[in-house]
Amino acid sequence: MSLVLALVLWLGDVRVRSDVVDDEATRRALTVRAGASADAWSIDVDDGSAPSEVRATLRHRGGREVQRSFVLASATTEERSRELAAALALVIEQQAPIDTAPPTASLQTAVRDPIGWLAVGARLGAGRPADVDGGATLRGGARWRYVQVVGSWASVHSRRDRLAVDGVRVGGGAAFGGSVGPWWIGGQVLPQLQWLFVRDRGRARGVTATTELAALAQLRTHGVWLGLRAGLELATPPVRLLGADDALRFGRARFVLGVEIGLQLPPERRASKAPRGRRSAAWTPAPPRSRT
Confirm if 151 and 140 have CB atoms less than 8 A apart: yes
Q: Which of 82, 54, 86 is nearest to 68 (CA)?
A: 54
Residue 89, pLDDT above cutoff 80: yes
Q: Which of 244, 165, 247, 246 is nearest to 202 (CA)?
A: 244
Model confidence at 29, pLDDT cuts 50, 70, 90, reads confident
Confirm if 47 and 20 have CB atoms less than 8 A apart: yes
Q: How many helices (H) and strands (E) does the chain have?
A: 5, 15
Of residues 201 and 285, more confidently modeled: 201
Q: What are phi and psi of 182, to 5 degrees?
A: -80, -5
Q: In the β-sheet with 13-17, what is the strand arrangement from edge to edge? A: 13-17, 41-47, 53-60, 65-71, 290-291
- Ramachandran quadrant class, 223 (left: phi over 0; alpha: psi -120 to 50; beta: rest): left
pLDDT at 289: 57
pLDDT digits (tens, 9 = 90+) for 162-215: 888 899 999 999 999 998 988 999 999 999 999 988 888 778 888 889 999 999
Residue 65, pLDDT above cutoff 70: yes
Give the rounded percent of residues in the chain with a pLDDT score beyond 70.
81
Of residues 285 and 118, more confidently modeled: 118
Q: Which of 140, 143, 132, 147 is nearest to 170 (CA)?
A: 140
Residue 118, pLDDT above cutoff 90: yes
Q: Which of 28-42, 123-137, 180-194, 274-288 has the lowest mean pLDDT?
A: 274-288
Residue 9, pLDDT above cutoff 60: no
CA distance 132 to 249: 9
CA distance 240 to 159: 13
